[in-house]
Chain A
Amino acid sequence: MTAPILEIRNLSKAFGPIQALNNVSLIIPRASLTIIAGPDGSGKSTLLKCLLGLVRADAGQIYLKGQLTDKNFEQIRSISAYMSERFSLYPDLTVEENLDFYACIQMVPKDRKDDLKHRLLERTGLESFRFRLAANLSGGLKQKLALATALLSSPEILFLDEPTPGIDPTSRLEFFRLLEELKKEGRTIILTTPYLDEAEKGDEIVFFHRGKIIKQGSLSDLKNQFPLLVFSFEPETNIFEAYTELSKLVGPENLILRGRQLKIFVPEGEELIWRGKLLRLKREEPRLEDIYFYFERRSEMMELGHDQ
């Protein structure tokens, strides 16, 4: 059996009192799109930086194609490209100059550089913007340029750290279409995002919360294995009162307030009686955000229980 391209075992990292990564273990299969989703400050970027050796992990091991990297990150770096949160572009250089510079520092051979550059400009639709300063590009074009610079070294692994904030929906779709193509070419993509709708596009979805993986799996696995039924309920009384009372009844981890509606997670076959009446609930298909919030709350409750 072929070893996964990356395997992380018990990775931990603390910045002073803040535990950025807490015993993280993860397997990244080859030619896959793994999306690490979680709120800001949950440790997603730290994980990517640890994998590239930009941040030194306090504990844990990283295996590249089955081989322990053991603090030598040259191997990982030599087959990967990294796109940071703010695209890593030089605003005072043109699109072409940015590409040239990155090609040079990634040691792309001279005879391949021009051909590769033209192909990437064409592929990302940047051909007509090649002489424009990066500072004057729209968010979507900056993102494409950053991706193009990352692809110059023809990496096997692409680390994309929150590549979509501030990008319009059309550009996002276009971006994920490009990622899909790259995946088909056999590249492994690890992408972090705070947006759960984006996470749905991943082959493997990893939910991060306070430096820990709280749940992972494919979209279908996450939905099918969700242990509870999801119901939506629109109370006629004050929604906040209803939330307070119902959270005592079902537990706060099983209740989400969304607009005028409450989402309730209930085990199969269980009926809910509130204020002396059997509740008429509307069953729903669990959405990714329901699953995330359920596991996030559960993790918080467990932490709280553990602390106490």
Chain B
Amino acid sequence: MRFLFLFRKEWREIFRQKEMVALLFIAPLIQTIILGYVVRTDVTNLPVGIINLSQSIESQRLINRLASSPLFKIKFIASKPVDAEEIFRQGKSKALIIFREREKRASEEFSFSLPEVQVLLDGSDANSAMIAAGYFYGLFGHYITTLLHREDKDVPFQPKTIIRFNPSLNSLHTMGPAIVALLLTIITILLTGIGLVREKEQQTLDTLLVSKLTPIEIFLGKTLPMAAVGLIEMTLGIMVVITIFDVTPRGNLAYLYLAAVAFLFSILSIGFLISLISQSQQQALFFCWFTMLLFLMLSGLLTPLENIPPALRWLTVINPLRYLIAIIREIFLKGNGLAYFWQDILIMAGLGLVAFLFSLRVFRRFVIK
């Protein structure tokens, strides 16, 4: 238990710096709140331009539907043709909906006459364009179905979609908890990454090395305080998700802490390794940012893992953040228990063990030159 001396020293050093305390505990909370609202995959307030060449009642009704939806923000309504490409170039709107009068009535069977509808989308933001296309399709489809039902007509084919776990498809519910995992990564890898290299710069590392502490004790003494800080941060983050984002976890949060411990084992070992091979804090920060960005890109937080090309997908297997994000979503949204993700926890622990053994090897081989 000799590592506790080092643990206590680290803890004192962290809390003695007021700026550090603010940076560690207040900044992440603000970041969680901001990121939770900003990093969303659903589209709201999409700027839409309408060119209503039809001037029919139905076109006006459809415009009213669009205007009342929080998904779209109607920027202008024109009654004459406009240069669509120029509007997109100027960024005035991301979608243009053109209503034209039908030359011929579609069928005598119906009492209503729908205008021709053309949707033009700005593909420079492919993600938003794809999601918006789905929204438009859904809105028009729903409108037609309503009209047909009113006339006692059956829709020949209509798939019924039931969405489980997040019926409103609110991205805050998927992104919010996952951002807690991201913050846990950022804080712990940065703190550990600069921890040992600061000792090198202060030239206190040599004194630690000639002391009676073993490399394992130095590892534990340097990383466990960061793990404790990480777990406190995670708790604060979860509180933000529950109280501010209004996302109630369906599963047992104790499992999340279990997963976090396995995750921290791997991430702290990687941070320690970064600290061992870096010669200055500046270098360590660069390594940490590079590692974090790689972890983030390959985590499934921003893009689905299935979107990653197969040649690179194997990298996600050795990314511990991928597993934590999956587990956090399973606990918060699906209410899953250990039976569903014990393998993920084991993989994280395994990755941690490999990184830990490797960093110990590096410690023994490279710290003593």
Contact = CB atoms under 8 A, between A and B. Distances in A.
A55 B369 contact: yes
Interface in A71-106: 77, 80, 82, 84-93, 97, 101-102, 104-106
A105 B2 contact: yes
A82 B206 contact: yes
B12 A88 contact: no
**Which of B8, B17, B213, B368 has the most C-beta atoms of chain A within 10 angstroms of its own C-beta?**
B368
B203 A86 contact: yes
Given A102-B207, A104-B5, A105-B211, A56 B369 contact: yes
A56 B208 CA distance: 17
Given A55-B369, A90-B202, A93-B9, A84 B17 contact: no
Contacts of A55: 368-369
Nearest to A87: B203
Interface stretch (A46-54, A179-187, A271-279): A46-54
Nearest to A82: B210
**Which of A54, A93, A97 has the most C-beta atoms of chain B within 10 angstroms of its own C-beta?**
A54
Given A88-B203, A92-B12, A105-B5, A54 B211 contact: no
A88 B202 contact: yes
Given A90-B9, A93-B12, A106-B212, A84 B369 contact: no
Nearest to B202: A86
A302 interface: no
B80 interface: no
Interface in B331-369: 368-369
A107 interface: yes
A105 to B, nearest CB: 4
Interface in A16-62: 49, 52-56
Interface residues of A, number: 29
A93 B13 contact: yes
A89 B204 contact: yes
A88 B202 CA distance: 6
B2 A84 contact: no
Given A86-B202, A92-B13, A105-B5, A77 B369 contact: no
Contacts of A87: 203
Nearest to A52: B210
A52 B207 CA distance: 10
A15 B369 contact: yes
A134 B9 CA distance: 14
Nearest to A84: B203
A53 to B, nearest CB: 7
A145 to B, nearest CB: 13
**Which of B208, B210, B213 has the most C-beta atoms of chain A within 10 angstroms of its own C-beta?**
B210
Interface string B194-212: 0000000011101111111
Contacts of A80: 210
A105 B369 contact: no
A149 B204 CA distance: 12
Nearest to B204: A88
B207 A84 contact: yes
Nearest to A88: B207
Contacts of A15: 369
A82 B203 contact: no
Contacts of A89: 202, 204
A300 B17 CA distance: 50
Given A15-B369, A86-B203, A88-B202, A54 B209 contact: yes
Contacts of A92: 12-13, 16-17
Contacts of B213: 105
B6 interface: yes
B14 to A, nearest CB: 9
A49 B204 CA distance: 14
Contact of A54 (B2, B8, B9, B206): B206
Interface in A103-119: 104-107
A289 B210 CA distance: 34
B22 to A, nearest CB: 15
A257 B209 CA distance: 44
24 contacts: A52-B210, A54-B206, A54-B369, A55-B369, A56-B369, A80-B210, A82-B210, A84-B206, A84-B207, A86-B202, A88-B207, A89-B202, A90-B13, A90-B202, A90-B204, A92-B13, A93-B12, A101-B8, A102-B207, A105-B2, A105-B6, A105-B211, A106-B211, A106-B212
Interface of A: 15, 49, 52-56, 77, 80, 82, 84-93, 97, 101-102, 104-107, 133, 149
Closest 9 pairs (CB-CB, A-B)? A104-B5, A105-B211, A88-B207, A84-B203, A86-B203, A92-B16, A92-B13, A88-B204, A101-B9
